[in-house]
Structure 1
Amino acid sequence: MDIGSISFISFLMCSVLSSFNSNCRTLASEQATCLGFDECFCTNEGVFACYRDELSGIPSTLPPNTTTVKLKYQNISKIYKADFVDSGYEGLLVLMIQNSKLRDIENGSFASLTSLIEFNLDGNELTSLDATNFHNLFNLKLLSLTSNAVEIIENGTFENLTKLVSLDLSRNKISTLYTGIFSGLVNLIFLSLKENEIYFIDRKTFQVVQNLRTLNLSFNRIRELDNFTFVGLDNLRYLSISDNVIDYVGDDTFQSLSNLSSLSLAQNRLTHLTFSITNDLRNLETLQLNDNQLTSIHNLSILPFLKKLDVSNNIQLSLPFCSLGELPILQSLFMSNTNVTFTLRLFIGTGCRDINIVPPLQHLYIQHSNTKRIDLDLTKALPYLQNLSFGDLDIEIENGSLSVLDNLKVLSLHNLPSSFYRLKFSNSLPSKMTTIVFYGLDNFPVEFLSHAGGERLLRLVIRNSNFEYLPANAFANLSSLENVEIHNGSLLSIDKDALNGLGNLTKLEMTRNRLSTLPEGLFQSTPYLGVLNIHENPWSCDCNLKWLIAYIELITIDNLTECVSPTEMSGKVISLLSESDFQCNDVSFSARLTSSSVTKVVTRIMPSTPMFPTNESTEETTNRTYTRFSTANYATQSTDATDKATAILTASTSAAVSTEDEQKSPDNSQLNLTFIFLGMSGIIVLILLISLGIVGYKYYQLSKKTRSTSQSCADTFSNASFNTREIDDTELYDNVNAKTEETSDPYIYNIPNQHCDVPRRYSLTAPRLKHHNNVPPTVREVRLQTFKSTSNDPNMESEGFSEKIYENQVFRKETSLC
């Protein structure tokens, strides 16, 4: 294909993409500038990028007006000083050399890049840093060196970087931090040293970075924090020292952190913790002490503005009476897996100060604590509660104690005794409750949900259950449900009518169970179902599951769902298969029968007079037994033992069931004609499939040659780097933590989607879209981040574009991802 054809195709592709972004420009004039590199592209916006293993050195020249260079997955082992001299790099603002096997940098190599603002060397093999590496980079603001092998950072390395605001050294091999290592970083705001091997921090190491707001020291080998570790960090807001081996914290360690709002000491080896009255932590809002070995915590009263306290998974921890009564604005309390007894005596009562109150708790997690009773007096004192999680085998719940929680939205019940689900509540569940989560169920609680007011629920989650069968009409009176999840359970089979009544269901997840097949017609009552996640089940991809292929053309199914049997189908992704791949043996078939299919078989072969006596209850039990067979081989066999019985249904249990009066065999000539007709039809279909395959292959070859053209246009829509954080559960309607990319605008969120290799659709057809999972109530715009993989390497990053799917309280009904 000549250059003119490539340019014309580039113009057409850009015209299509312009429907997503009005800034897309024709590439016809600029494509020739990058034709020297097969896997590189450039744009009119000044971006030059190469994402394949093609370069062994820095390109000697750049297109005019280039301001951004992105080199990923190259083979650039060394950078020389001459690489950036008089070669078009003098106006460079952004330089990224990532995952390119870089091991050595010649002294002064970047000295000519005086305009550089962002510098990224992630994923290389650098072992040391010195001052010559960053000499003359006076305007640099963002520097990232994550995932290298840096062990040594010489004093003065960052001396010239006076404008640097962000430094990321995570995932290296740094073991010690000495005084002077960060000298020169007078404007530094963000510093990450997580996932290193740090075991020693010199006194006053951080004194020179007085403007620091965020410090991350998690996942290291730090053993102790003395009173001088954080001296000078008066402006620090966020401090994480989680996932270390800390067993000692000085009484005055945090004395200079007067502006600290979030402190994490989670997953260490602390046994006691005392907040000295000399510590000025009056602005602390979040304190995470979970997963330690704590037995006691003292002086929490010096934290008057604390909003979130997590002490979970400290199994020997006890808290004295009145200890939480001086935290007047506490909103979230996590006390699961502790020895704490949650009662009103933790806040108020005899011996408490007059200023003690019960704080306005909104989120309370007390499952598997020493709490033995939930009574009406306790719940009446928690009128603002929105999320409640409790449970244990020996807990008592006073009748009606839940119904008074008028603002409760999410209720999680953990391993409650079976007797709880048989309670006849005098009052229904709270009227605003939208989500209920069950852990450790032995039976599906149909009656409980019906009697307790489950008809208002939007989301039902079941985890770690023990029941094997989902019966017909399991979700009776739950017509408002939009999301059903059954994870990590023992579910073996599902009745064809199990989902009856779920007319508003939009998402169904049944992952990590023991399902091998699904009955045809299961989704006949779920017209709005758009997402089906069923991976990590032992799926049997035979003819009994063939119907699913046609159905998943209409919805989104995860591309992790694989066949386990038969042997020739093992490991194949179901969403990539066709109906012809699902076959059964002509004589016998292996299946997990549903109640409806068993009924049809038994009706055809059951004699009018049974071979052994039965009654109504026996027949019901027999039918149910067949419904729950999981690995049985059934076959019909003729017999003339009696004029009443003509066939026997045999199973792996060797149980025999009588059959009906022998029916007349169909005429053999009619059968032959039928088989001939089916055979000819199959040949015609095969010819059509081969023709389509040839056309698809030609289209693939054409698209492959123009991929660099479309990639440049796609890069136009790719967002700049984001600051990633985990959304706190208080921001979500359904209390589900989610990884989300946060843009510079706090009211715009990007939902990342990394599975674009297989064409599929993302359905957003829920009738009550305001409860959609990853949309906090304050967000006014959501963008779906779509990625196109550029390599078979699963670790390779991807480029793509974002598409607005939510704005001003309105979702687009359906969004095409690929």
Structure 2
Amino acid sequence: MTSMATNFTLILVLFVIKWSASDSTCPSYCECYSLRTQIVADCTSKMLAAVPNGLPLNITTLRLGYNNLTQIHNSTFAGKSLSLLERLEINDNLLCYIEPGAFHELTRLTRLDLENNRIRLLHPDIFLSLSRLWKLILNGNPLALQEDGPFLVAPQLKVLELERCEIGEVPPLAFQNLSELHTVRLANNRLTTVNLQGPYLMHVAVGSNSLSEDGLVLNSPALIVLDLSECGLRRLPENVLRTTPNLQRLKLEQNLLSSLDVGILSMIPHLRMINLTGNEVTFLHVDIFQHNNELTHLDLSKNPLQLSTDGGFIHSSSIQVLSLAACNLSRVSAETFRGMPNITSLKLSDNKLRSLSNLTFSVLPNLEYLSLDGNRIFTVLADFVSGLSKLVYLNLSRNPIQLSTDEPFLKSNSLNELILDECFLETVPATTLRLLPNLTSLSLSNNQLPTLDVQTVQVVSDLNHLAIDGNPLICDCPLLPLWQWCSIRQCEKSIVRCKRPRGRSWVVLSDLVCEDGSVSPSEDFDIDLEVEMVDIPIPSRRPPERLTI
């Protein structure tokens, strides 16, 4: 059993105590159990046409998802004595009608999930008696919002999800009786206009809608997160930024923005993260973020950027995470990054870079994570990262790199993880890692290696993770020393198959006896398509692969 499976089993043992099958307090077609602080009755996927009788009186969570319920009447929960119920899930049913007083007796309800039903209309007062309800999920219902009145009256509702509801407009009065609302999700509707206001509104997501030029109206001074992805925007909505002065995270992925006006972001001085992935940005003024001294994350991936002739780019001393992946860049220089000296994570994946000077990243003394995968880099100067004393992660995968037969590949006293996957490597010389004394993880997956000389890895005393899967390995005596080294060093688990013997795991090496009489030191490995190397967990130090805000 794998460690993951063992951990999962332990979690179940510790946190789940099931009723016996014969317990009369739980309907036979449901499963009742205790999960942490919740008493759960799980009746999902039982083809139920009605809420079952005989539910335990002390349940706090009732799961009725993936059944055939079509209506909920005032009598549905009446008399069932579910006064302790806090969470109710009726997602993925056939609900088309809910009577206004249906939830009247569920006074302790805090979360209600009605996702993916057929609900078109809800009475505004249907949740009025639920003074503790704070999260309502209505995604995937063909809802219609009233034009001249409130959508719902729910005094304590804080999170409202209305994604994929075919809504065409959010009228000004729609949410006026939801005074405590702080999160609204309206993505993937048919919205052209949205009018939202509220003193506590902090998170608004209206992505994947075709908003008109001035179709978004927000009066939310407390707003922190705004998602405007895939809205067809050609310019930033100035009226929105003016009324959201405390905005910290702005998502603008997959729009039609070609530039940003200098000064427009000065209206949101507390901006910390901005995602512009997949727009049409070719140029940004060097001082575009001069008023955003709290900005730490900038994602410009998948934009056709054109750097100035002198190589200069953005000036911002606060930016720490920068992604310029898939920007069609054929060159970068020290001038590109000189104005951003505090970058710790830089992603330049999937560009057209061919060479790198040893000065390219010299202006980034705090750089820890560098991704250069998917470029056209052929040769790498050994000292191109030698001045980066904090660099711990370097990804050079998917580059046609040529390794010197008699010179070290790189020089770095700080590098912990090196990835050279899919580089068409046919050999890795013994000198390759000689000047990487603190390397702990090396990935050589999916190259063209028939074998790997154990001397290549022996020079690095702390190396404890080696990935060589996806290579056409010849599992015979020349590879045996590497198997022995990996066994003794307890490398992390890796799936490795041989080209010869065809399709076999390299575990076959454990039974191999070579001319000198040497054999594998272990006969207890799992003879499966895996090599079990255990008990040395490696902290995962990965850079943010994409900006998530």
- Do both proteins adopt the same fold according to a TM-score greater than 0.5, normalized to the shorter chain? yes
- Decide whether aligned partners of structure 1 residues 254 and 761 sit closer, same or farther in structure 2, where only a CA change above 3 A counts: farther
Q: Give 2:117's match in structure 1, choosing from 116, 124, 128.
A: 124
Pairing 1:215–2:195 present: no
**What do residues 122-181 of structure 1 show as CA deviations (whole Å, max 9, x unaligned)?**
3434344442643532321111123x2324233656432010011122243323222222
Residue type of the partner of 1:495? T
Partner Cα separation in structure 2 for residue 395 and residue 465 of structure 1: 14
Matched, 1:411 2:367: no
Structure 1 residue runs without a partner (length 5+): 1-15, 339-367, 553-578, 580-595, 601-758, 777-818
Q: Which amino acid aligns with 1:206?
A: L
Q: 1:513-565, CA deviations, whole angstroms, 9 ceiling, x for partnerless residues?
A: 5758866745322232233257xxxx78995444546899xxxxxxxxxxxxx
**Equivalent in 24, 32, 39 of residue 41 of structure 1:** 32
Structure 1 residues 770-809: aligned runs within 5 Å: 771-773=539-541
Match of 2:526 in 1: none
Q: Equivalents in 2 of 1:541, 1:445: separation in Å?
A: 23
Aligned to 1:681: none
AA of the residue aligned to 1:524: Q
Q: 1:301 aligns with which of 282, 290, 311?
A: 290
Aligned partner (choices 122, 137, 142) of residue 150 of structure 1: 142
Secondary structure of 1:167's counterpart equals: strand
> Does the 8 Å CA contact 2:57/2:82 hold for their aligned counterparts?
no
Shift of 1:96: 1.5
CA distance in 2, matches of 1:330, 1:401: 18
Matched, 1:206 2:162: no
Q: 1:116 to 1:411 in 2, by over 3 A?
A: closer
SS at match of 1:287: strand
Q: Once the 2 structures are TM-superposed, how far is the Cα of residue 60 of structure 1 from its aligned partner?
A: 2.2
Structure 1 match to 2:221: 234
Deviations 1:225-251 (A, max 9, x none): 45xx33311110111101222224444
- Find the counterpart in structure 1 of residue 101 from structure 2: 108
Within 5 Å, which residues of 2 pair with 1:54-203?
A: 54-131=47-124, 133-146=126-139, 148-154=140-146, 156=149, 158-194=151-187, 196-202=188-194
Aligned residue number for residue 662 of structure 1: none
Instruction: Report if aligned partners of 2:334, 2:363 keep a CA contact under 8 Å in 1.
Output: no
Which amino acid counterpart does residue 461 of structure 1 have in structure 2? I
Tell me the distance in 2 between the aligned counterparts of 1:387 and 1:403: 14
Distance 1:124 1:471, change over 3 A: same
Distance 2:509 2:43 in 1: 40
Question: Measured at CA, do residues 220 and 551 of structure 1 come closer, stay the same or move farther in structure 2, by a change above 3 Å?
Answer: farther
Q: How many residues align?
A: 507
Distance between the aligned counterparts of 1:544 and 1:105, measured in 2?
62
The 1:278–1:509 alpha-carbon spacing in structure 2 relative to 1, beyond 3 Å, is: closer
Rate the CA distance shift 1:171–1:525 in 2: closer, same or farther, 3 A.
Answer: farther
Name the counterpart of 1:434.
Answer: 392
Is the alpha carbon distance of 1:53 and 1:550 closer, same or farther for their aligned partners in structure 2, counting shifts above 3 Å? farther
- Corresponding position of 2:484: 524
User: CA, structure 1 residues 251+411, in 2 after alignment: closer, same or farther (shift >3 Å)?
Assistant: closer
Distance 2:384 2:154 in 1: 68
1:690-705 to 2 correspondence within 5 Å?
Answer: none
Task: Please tell me whether residue 373 in structure 1 is matched to residue 333 in structure 2.
Answer: yes
- Cα distance change of structure 1 residues 290 and 303 upon mapping to structure 2, 3 Å threshold: same
As a proportion of its length, which structure holds more strand? 1
Are the equivalent residues in 2 in contact too, given 1:446–1:476 (CA < 8 A)? no
Letter in 1 for 2:536: T
- Aligned pairs for 1:264-413 (under 5 A) are 264-274=251-261, 280-297=267-284, 300-316=289-305, 324-325=314-315, 327-336=316-325, 338=327, 368-369=328-329, 371-374=331-334, 384-389=342-347, 397-399=356-358, 406-413=365-372
What is the root-mean-square deviation in Å for CA atoms of aligned residues? 4.4
Q: Distance in 2 between matches of 1:86 and 1:762?
A: 58
Q: Match of 1:267, as an amino acid?
A: Q
Residues 547 and 397 from structure 1, CA distance in 2 versus in 1: closer, same or farther, beyond 3 angstroms? closer
| C-alpha separation in 2, matches of 1:406 and 1:278 | 28
Asked if 2 retains the 8 angstrom alpha-carbon contact of 1:157 and 1:181, the reply is: yes
Measured in 2, the distance between the counterparts of 1:50 and 1:412 equals: 47
Point out the structure with max Rg over C-alpha: 1
1:261 to 248, 259, 262: 248
Structure 2: 5+ residue runs without aligned partners? 1-8, 516-529, 545-549
Letter in 2 for 1:220: N
Asked if structure 2 preserves the Cα contact closer than 8 Å seen for 1:61 and 1:88, the reply is: no
Query: Deviation per CA, 1:707-729, whole angstroms, max 9, x where unpaired?
Result: xxxxxxxxxxxxxxxxxxxxxxx
Query: Could you tell me which amino acid in structure 2 is paired with residue 55 of structure 1?
Result: L
TM-score, length of structure 2 as denominator length: 0.76
Q: Which amino acid counterpart does residue 457 of structure 1 have in structure 2?
A: L
More helix by share: 1
1:461 aligns with 2:419: yes
